[in-house]
Chains A and B, each alone.
Chain A
Amino acid sequence: MNRAPLIFLGIFFALAFSWTGIVLTNQISYGSLQPVYDETEGKSFPQQTPGLAARGKLVYQDLGCIYCHSQQVRRPGYGADIERGWGERQSVPRDYIRESRVLLGSMRTGPDLRNIGARQTDRTWQYLHLYDPQITSAGSIMPPHRFLFETRKIIGQPSPKAIQDKLPASARPPAGYEIVPTERAESLVAYLLSLKDTYAYPETKNVYVEPAAEAGKEEKK
């Protein structure tokens, strides 16, 4: 008896089943979610990432920040994402529809960054932290990204973006030199600052928000 065709059929349907269930069904059911147009603001949300930030996202991708940072906030009551101040609300599928590459991430060796642009708006802090995380966050295990900066001779006016004055004495360049972010560092920081899901979509207003969590949020403020 040749059972090969039968076995093959089984093998085929096993995967076809999950492919249909996980991939196709979801693609059909929410693969064409649309942005929401807000009458009062006259804009649609989520907004397009501006050009510089979009380039910064490529830097984020090529350096592999995703292996230590997630970009998804879980609902109140599940995990402590909200209590940690990683977002005002949970992330929903609509938040991601403008992104041609979704970087949810699966590790939180560092904090979630979905709303970093809302909680750490100081550009200089971001530069210093990138240059060497020990400056802003002693004991951090985030790698230094000094290679995103350039040490150069000051010619004429010093650059307004230069950071050497804020570095610890031992890390400063010789007099007459300055340390400035490269274009990649600038775009990366622009990307980080663009990360904020603060708009409340209809579906975020009353899902899963337990009163306790709401109260916790009030206290934090």
Chain B
Amino acid sequence: MMVPAPSLATSLNPATSTAEVKRAELREIDASTKWPALFLLGSAVGWLLIGTVFALISSFKMHSPEFLGNYEWLTFGRARTAHLNAVVYGWSVNASFAVAFWLMARLSRSVLRHSGLLIVAAVFWNVGVTLGIYGILAGDSTSIEWLEMPLYATPLLFLAYALVGAWAIITFRFGKSPHIYVSQWYILAALFWFPWLYSVAEIMIVFTPARGTVQALVNWWFAHNVLGLWFTPIGLAAVYYFLPKVLGKPIHSYYLSVLGFWSLAIFYNWAGVHHLIGGPVPAWVQSAGIAASFMMVVPVIVVAINHHMTMVGSFNALKYSPTLRFIVFGAVSYTLASLQGSSMAIRSWAEVTHFTHYTVGHSHIGMYAFFTMVMFGSIYYIMPRILLKEWPSATLISVHFWATAVGVIIYVVGLSIGGVLEGLLMNTPVLAHKLGLQPTDDPVPFLDIVRRTIPYLVSRSVAGVLMTVGHIAFAINFAWIIIRSTQPAASAPTLFRSPPDMEVAAQ
């Protein structure tokens, strides 16, 4: 990393080695992504902190309703919604934009053109999200899950998105790489799918509402697909890029990655209806949703095998590379989240878990343990390359990893156990009685259920505090790497500890 960046002209000098040329080219590309990436990632980290504060408030309120109980702006229904929108549209989307652009530029081997366009889009997006969250807190929420932002914020988001789309097409068209990498498939597909989902949902639920429960179908078609067709592809694109990159070896099987892509594309987008199992929508759509959810096992297993086989023989590298550690944690969580999701579509299991905290645990395996961890890993890789300096503190990275990893595990385990208990008592009293959880076959009073779930809700708050510690460590390191003067002493990439003599190909 100490080599002064050669200009493109020197690096194209045929006298230099091809590796050197390639490295210089990459550096040129990375440099071109610097400002948009910094802006997006900076906003993302800001939203992460804001979202975390709202998360803690909501979590505390859930077991101690008097906590901040007199403030209408922070009442549970609003704080929780502000949390969701801040972490989804603030943190996750900003981070995914940055990672997607950076990957696109690298993979199409083209310097990032029109970065001004991207910055304008990013500004629009963030102003839109700010306005939207303000609206939610002020009482203008639409109460449509995942689409709560009021009407005066959404057009801005749409505009921002249109600019991003235009930019992506330009970059793709000017790409020099003859090959379309799997990561690019995922990113392009995601960039195309999202506006479609978003506009249909906004139009059919908010602008000209469809009649009756058709709205609910549109709602879950959208909300589940934001996960499946936006965050999942971007997360997987990052895994597919960084895993082989950090390990310095190719992905196990090209064929499997193609199969994984298409089966995801086809099955995922039907699965959302499983949120309405048992609800007032036609039975056949529910069955289709259940079937699609089962079929999701295919892409998931395929991707899991592919990633695992790539890792085999290199698990040692987890000790050294921060990027790898976060990414592998994320990849494993992806498999878990998806298999769990498929199982939750089984009618008799949905009967227990639907409407309970179990679902909340599940969504955090997906959005946090998978997606967010992958984004953390990606950011640890990207920042040093666009700033040309290393992370100031490996200890902070370590704190970040352990606090968030342990935190999210406590979170998920607590809510899963609590959620199943809640579900058994609430939905299947006969079964709960058989399991010895309640004295008779009759439903126990609702308040008993509430009382018995409180310990698990408290465990969630404990987990939340841990995750907050991790986020603060991350944010400090993030601000620090930006403001610290250039040229630190270290010339090697930041690792948790120096590898013995094993080569960690971290370039």
| Chain A interface residues (CB < 8 Å from chain B) | 3-4, 7-8, 10-12, 14-15, 17-19, 21-23, 26-27, 29-33, 60-68, 70, 72, 74-75, 78-80, 83-84, 90-97, 99-104, 106-111, 133, 137-147
Task: A79 to B209: give the CA distance in the assembly, Å.
Answer: 30
Tell me whether chain B's interface is mostly helix, strand or loop, or mixed: helix
Tell me how far the C-beta of B3 lies from the nearest C-beta in chain A, rounded to whole angstroms: 35
- Contact residues of B with A, CB < 8 Å? 61-63, 65-66, 69-72, 75-78, 80-81, 139-145, 172, 180, 185, 188-189, 192-193, 196-197, 200, 204-205, 209-218, 221, 225, 229, 262, 265-266, 269-270, 272-273, 275-276, 278-282, 285, 288-289, 347, 351, 354-357, 359-360, 426-429, 442-443, 446-447, 450-451, 454, 457
6 residue pairs from A and B, CB less than 8 Å apart: A15-B197, A15-B225, A64-B141, A80-B443, A106-B145, A106-B275
Closest to B448 in A: A139
Complex contacts, A145 vs chain B, CB 8 Å: 75
Which of B66, B71, B210, B355 has the most CB atoms of chain A within a 10 A radius of its CB? B355
Q: Contact at B221–A22, with CB atoms within 8 Å?
A: yes
Is there contact, CB below 8 Å, between B269 and A14?
Answer: yes
Report B190 CB to chain A, min CB distance, Å.
9
Shortest beta-carbon distance from A196 to chain B in Å: 15
**Which residues of chain B have C-beta atoms less than 8 A from A91's C-beta?**
279-280
Closest chain-B Cβ to A141's Cβ sits at a distance in Å of: 5
B454 proximity list for chain A (CB < 8 A): 141
CB-CB under 8 A from A142, the residues of chain B are: 65
Interchain CB contact under 8 A, B285 and A80: no
Chain B hits for A61, CB < 8 A: 141-143
Chain A residues near B285 (CB, 8 Å)?
A: 21-22, 26
- A79 touching B351 by the CB < 8 A rule? yes
Of chain B, the residue at the smallest CB distance from A100 is: B209
| Cβ contact within 8 Å between B447 and A140 | yes
A169 shortest CB reach to chain B, Å? 18
Distance in angstroms from A188 CB to nearest chain B CB is 12
Minimum CB–CB distance from B372 to chain A (whole Å) comes to 21
Q: Could you say which of A8, A12, A97, A143 contacts B76, with CB atoms under 8 Å apart?
A: A143
Q: Is the CB of A64 within 8 A of B78?
A: yes
Leading 10 A-B pairs by shortest Cβ distance: A64-B77, A108-B355, A61-B143, A14-B265, A62-B139, A18-B269, A96-B212, A74-B278, A147-B72, A97-B212
Q: How far is the CA of A91 from the CA of B212 in the complex (A)?
A: 12
Contact A15 B193 (CB under 8 A): yes
Is B75 a contact of A143 with CB atoms below 8 Å?
yes
Once the chains are docked, how many angstroms separate the CA of A80 from the CA of B355? 12
Q: How far is the CB of A164 from chain B (nearest CB, A)?
A: 17
Given A66-B77, A83-B429, also A75-B266 (CB < 8 A)? no
Cβ of B381 to closest chain A Cβ, rounded Å: 26
- Pick from B196, B212, B229: contact of A94, CB under 8 Å: B212
A84 to B426 alpha-carbon distance, docked (Å): 9
Known interface pairs A144-B69, A147-B72; A80-B428 also in contact (CB < 8 Å): yes
Q: Give the distance to chain B from A151, nearest Cβ to Cβ, in Å.
A: 12
Shortest distance from the beta carbon of B359 to any chain A beta carbon, whole Å: 7
CB of A102 within 8 A of CB of B215, answer yes
The residue of chain B having its C-beta at the shortest distance from the C-beta of A145 within the complex is B75
Q: Are A93 and B281 in contact (CB under 8 A)?
A: yes
Residue in A18, A84, A147 whose CB lies within 8 Å of B270: A18
Q: Tell me which of B78, B355, B428 contacts A70 (CB under 8 A).
A: B355
Q: Could you say which residues of chain A place their CB within 8 Å of the CB of B269? A: 14-15, 17-19
A79/B278 in contact, CB under 8 A = yes
- Residue of B70, B143, B215, B278 with highest tally of chain A CB at under 10 A: B143
Residues from chain A with Cβ under 8 Å of B360 in the complex: 107
Q: Is the CB of B185 within 8 A of A7?
A: yes
Do B211 and A97 touch (CB < 8 A)? Answer: yes
Whether A15 pairs with B213 at a CB distance below 8 angstroms is no
| CB contact between A104 and one of B69, B75, B142, B276 (< 8 Å): that residue | B276
- Chain B residue with minimal CB distance to A22? B221
Which residues on B sit within 8 Å (CB–CB) of A111? 446
Give every chain B residue within 8 A of A31 (Cβ-Cβ). Answer: 210-212, 214
> Does the CB pair A99–B442 fall under 8 Å?
no
Q: Which residue of B lies closest to A18 (CB)?
A: B269
CB <8 Å contact, A83 and B442? yes
Return chain B residues, CB-CB under 8 Å to A143: 61, 65, 69, 75-76
Of B217, B265, B280, B288, which is within 8 A of A92 by CB? B280
Q: Which residues of B contact A32 (CB under 8 A)?
A: 211
Shortest CB-to-CB span from A83 to chain B, Å, is 5
| Inter-subunit contact A101/B139 (CB<8 Å) | no
Within the complex, the shortest CB–CB distance from A152 to chain B, in Å, comes to 17
Residue pair B66, A144 in contact (C-beta under 8 Å): yes
Cβ contact within 8 Å between A102 and B351: no
List residues of chain B with CB within 8 A of the CB of A96: 212-213, 280
- For residue B343, give the distance in angstroms from its CB to the closest CB of chain A: 18
Q: Are A72's CB and B142's CB within 8 A?
A: no
CA distance A67 to B81 in the complex (A): 9
State the Cβ distance, A85 to closest chain B Cβ, in Å: 9
Establish whether residues A11 and B189, one from each chain, have CB atoms under 8 Å apart when the complex forms. Answer: yes
Report how far A78 CA is from B276 CA in the complex, Å.
13
The residue from A68, A99, A144, A147 contacting B77, defined by CB atoms under 8 A apart: A68
Beta-carbon contact of B180 and A27 below 8 Å: no
B451-A26 in contact (CB<8A): no
A77 vs chain B, min Cβ distance (A): 10
Enumerate chain A residues within 8 angstroms of B141, measured Cβ to Cβ.
61-62, 64
CA distance A21 to B214 in the complex (A): 12
**Of B62, B214, B278, B429, which is within 8 A of A141 by CB?**
B62
Select which of A99, A108, A146 is within 8 A of B356 by beta carbon: A108
In the complex, the chain A residue whose C-beta lies closest to that of B78 is A64
Inter-chain pairs besides A64-B81, A96-B280, A106-B359, 20 sampled, C-beta below 8 Å: A4-B180, A22-B288, A22-B289, A26-B214, A33-B211, A63-B139, A64-B77, A64-B78, A67-B81, A75-B278, A79-B278, A79-B351, A83-B443, A101-B215, A106-B354, A137-B447, A139-B447, A141-B454, A143-B69, A147-B70
B77 touches A26 (CB 8 A): no
Q: Which of A31, A67, A91, A97 has the most CB of B within 10 A?
A: A67
